[in-house]
Amino acid sequence: MSVEPKTVRCPHCGKNNRVPAAAEGHPRCGNCHQSLPWIVDAEDSTFTQVVDKASIPVVVDLWATWCGPCRMVSPALEQVAADLAGKIKLAKVDVDASPQLSQRFEVRAVPTLLVIDRGRVLARQAGARPAAELRAWVEEALAGGSAAESSAATGSAGAP
Ligand SMILES: [Zn+2]
């Protein structure tokens, strides 16, 4: 799979924009210049480009097609991505199609959610939550909140 641009309708003015999966900075509407929600798909072959090298923090949704709670958490995360447009990017990873990522992040339950900033895992949690809780969790991770940081620091500290 390549990283094809997606068409995103601007929530501010309604204009359709083509939004790339990976780019410098973050996408803005070509018409009204407001920040656009950045919601992309990622997999083993594109994760480095789409997530690790992203210039803003990325919320990663590790989901599976057969997972009921994932179908509830995905729209909640899309709401968070819209609320925090310009501050975060949302990347969805189908764990069954991305065995390397499942292994890298030791995914034992879906959905597993990660907040990643420049390749470093700031926070992770498993299971479904309502949008308001997810947003609070993401904002806390971005603020460097201690509650969001559990075992995440150990795995990435020595990484190249
Ligand atoms: Zn607009």
For the chain, 160 residues long, give each residue's pLDDT as a single digit of tens.
Answer: 457 789 999 999 999 999 999 999 999 999 999 999 999 999 999 999 999 999 999 999 999 999 999 999 999 999 999 999 999 999 999 999 999 999 999 999 999 999 999 999 999 999 999 999 999 999 999 998 554 444 444 444 444 4
Using an 8 Å Cβ cutoff, are 57 and 70 in contact? Answer: no
Q: Catalytic annotation on 70?
A: yes
Using an 8 Å Cβ cutoff, are 69 and 128 in contact? Answer: yes
Domain boundaries, the chain: 37-146
pTM, two decimal places: 0.87
Catalytic residue of the set 10, 29, 32, 70: 70
Domain covering 37-146 in this structure, CATH number: 3.40.30.10
Using an 8 Å Cβ cutoff, are 99 and 81 in contact? Answer: no
Centroid of ligand 1 to alpha carbon of 9 (angstroms) = 8
Q: Catalytic annotation on 67?
A: yes
Centroid of ligand 1 to alpha carbon of 108 (angstroms) = 40
Centroid of ligand 1 to alpha carbon of 28 (angstroms) = 8
